[in-house]
Structure 1
């Protein structure tokens, strides 16, 4: 899996200070991680800090094992500049993407490089008391296989379907995962690591995975997860929008005329998921006598060229496009990125999506709109969970707290 960390061109000498002179060691590490400044001189120019202040902050980062300094050849043939990089071996992060019928786990270094991964297919409807110990066992096995320990883990990124409370680390409303609401998930991992757990919604995590994908080119993107359920990760102006209670993006529970009177798995009626969500499509096929266990089976049939399966997948795309058109009109994104299991039949699903999305939005909102496949495919959840953990434990505030504790 490619690194989840991005790099950009060094900041030119003429660039004005981007940070206040009070920039902390954590701020400097953030600049180094992003590639905005990778030498002492660049750090001084970007922050306005004196050479002495930059050296002092770098020394504290080096003492904590977070920064390495080497040399690179000067483009002008002059004295080489010392290049600063994050020491990716200074720790680990764990990633856990919990789904309705499959959970994925990985171990990554501090630059986002995957070191080990595992996937676990589970029965639908398992509660946290059954599933989370299995997740913990997989994580412990991977760490042992790498010859690493839980003490080296700096953070854990975990995603769930539905709305979550990030402060408390619990699910608060997940129709896909009955019995998970209000359960503290960090407690299940204490036997593996004492590192902090960061929780987020699966669609937001998928959007985070695009930081090193489509978000490099576009600041306004809707990341659609079309799978068992339907949801959106909303990025506007480069910022992820979670909403007042963290419930932004619940596209699957928008009321649509086609679902009038149909019961959704959330308990309400008339939701988009009841006619376009993977769970509803599977129920429909089973009622027609077909042996289909998961939406992935339907997608596989469509990819093999089965006419009925292709028609069902395309119809799902059409229904989603109808509901999504209003959001596109209001937010005017540059791209709609399609991920989740339906993206396995991207051409078929997106054809249906385009059939209704473009006619349903304004000409201006649809003029430059692109429909694109998710960069990391079925691994988007893991990539996003790694990013989630890294952005938390290597944030300026977290790094400064770590250094203060060492002092």
Structure 2
């Protein structure tokens, strides 16, 4: 980060060091960056004026006045984190570290349409800000996860199969009519991967998050970065063909898709064909928890089908952690046993020696944690910090 004498260092670059949660002195920052102490002092003063950095006391002195310490102030701004599921909407107000300050959850089908769902989100935002006494002026942004493909650059859903009325809808523009802040939109599984990693695997650079629910999808983090692919459809595991799928028609129109055999609805349907009353995936999980052998065997087989696809992912991507989440993850080891059985049998030893396959620790909060991260990564990036400082200077 040393000054090259041309463009010079930016306060936004220096700020990235302070995001580690530790307290720094000006001298420590100067030593670490190789910048002159006077340069560091000027940048620190700019960051202090933004409120994103605060003084946190003094370091021990070897003589003379003790040096001041500074740290990132995560409570300086808030983030609205939104998880839109197939049948629910969860809205949380968080700080810049993703800590939830308040939240609401409503049973609302995404098929109700974008105006109804996003209208609820805006109303919920107003209630949460009022309840926590946080002014809208300190809202850093809104992060939204949607249960379908999203064009990341625009935030518009693209032909989402379970979201009638959402195709091409201007989510960002609609929300910004009421909340005039950055609005970032992504596929729900992508943001779940971000949330799980930030909360529980911050040192893991290669992670797959698998969501098992009404549908099946994955969020791919490779070399520390979320991979969306050329058109935002990376990770759509639900429509990969599996060997056991001959003759099984998927809602996408193809035959043999993983989702048509191993999603919550698919497992429930297979049980119903055996004469077991299981209208949905939640019922299957409940039956298994009470020892129903048919439900347990169906979940184990679903795990094997999922493992078949994940074995290919392991060979291709070589993740160090695979996290299983979503509503069907509540089945726990009944599914995990099948997944592990096939992945470890079909993947080469070198790819599985250090591989961990685990249940989600974030649980139902993975999506709001990730939606918060989506915004924080944007507004706290070097460019985001510089833009905020420039806006302050212009306003002043």
TM > 0.5:
yes
Cα distance in 2, alignment partners of residues 313 and 83 from structure 1: 54
Q: What is the root-mean-square deviation in Å for CA atoms of aligned residues? A: 2.4
Cα distance in 1, alignment partners of residues 340 and 82 from structure 2: 33
Cα distance in 2, alignment partners of residues 287 and 149 from structure 1: 54
For the Cα contact (< 8 Å) 1:164–1:170, is it kept in 2?
A: yes
Cα distance in 2, alignment partners of residues 80 and 299 from structure 1: 59
Residue 345 (structure 1) aligned to one of 317, 331, 336: 331
Matched, 1:203 2:189: yes
User: How high is the TM-score relative to the length of structure 2?
Assistant: 0.91
Alpha-carbon offset, residue 244 of structure 1 = 1.6
- Taking the TM superposition and a 5 Å limit, the aligned residue runs for 1:2-401 are 22-35=8-21, 38-74=24-60, 80-123=66-109, 125-190=111-176, 192-286=178-272, 292-401=278-387
Question: What is the total number of aligned residue pairs between the two structures?
Answer: 391
**Cα gap change, 1:287 to 1:191, in 2 (>3 Å):** farther
Which is further off, 17-26 or 166-175? Answer: 17-26
Alpha-carbon offset, residue 19 of structure 1 = 9.0
**Cα gap change, 1:216 to 1:353, in 2 (>3 Å):** same
Cα distance in 1, alignment partners of residues 58 and 330 from structure 2: 43
In the alignment, structure 1 segments of 5+ residues that lack a partner are: 1-16
Cα distance in 2, alignment partners of residues 93 and 38 from structure 1: 25
- 1:111-140 superposed Cα distances (whole Å, 9 cap, x missing partner): 322110111112363221222212222222
Equivalent position of 1:4 in the other structure: none
Cα distance in 1, alignment partners of residues 3 and 211 from structure 2: 36
For the Cα contact (< 8 Å) 2:89–2:117, is it kept in 1?
A: no
**Cα gap change, 1:285 to 1:76, in 2 (>3 Å):** farther
Which is further off, 144-153 or 164-173? Answer: 144-153
Cα distance in 2, alignment partners of residues 397 and 106 from structure 1: 26
Cα distance in 2, alignment partners of residues 358 and 134 from structure 1: 44
Match of 2:141, SS state, is strand
Cα distance in 2, alignment partners of residues 266 and 64 from structure 1: 49
Alpha-carbon offset, residue 153 of structure 1 = 1.0
Which is further off, 281-290 or 49-58? Answer: 281-290
In the alignment, structure 2 segments of 5+ residues that lack a partner are: none
User: How high is the TM-score relative to the length of structure 1?
Assistant: 0.88
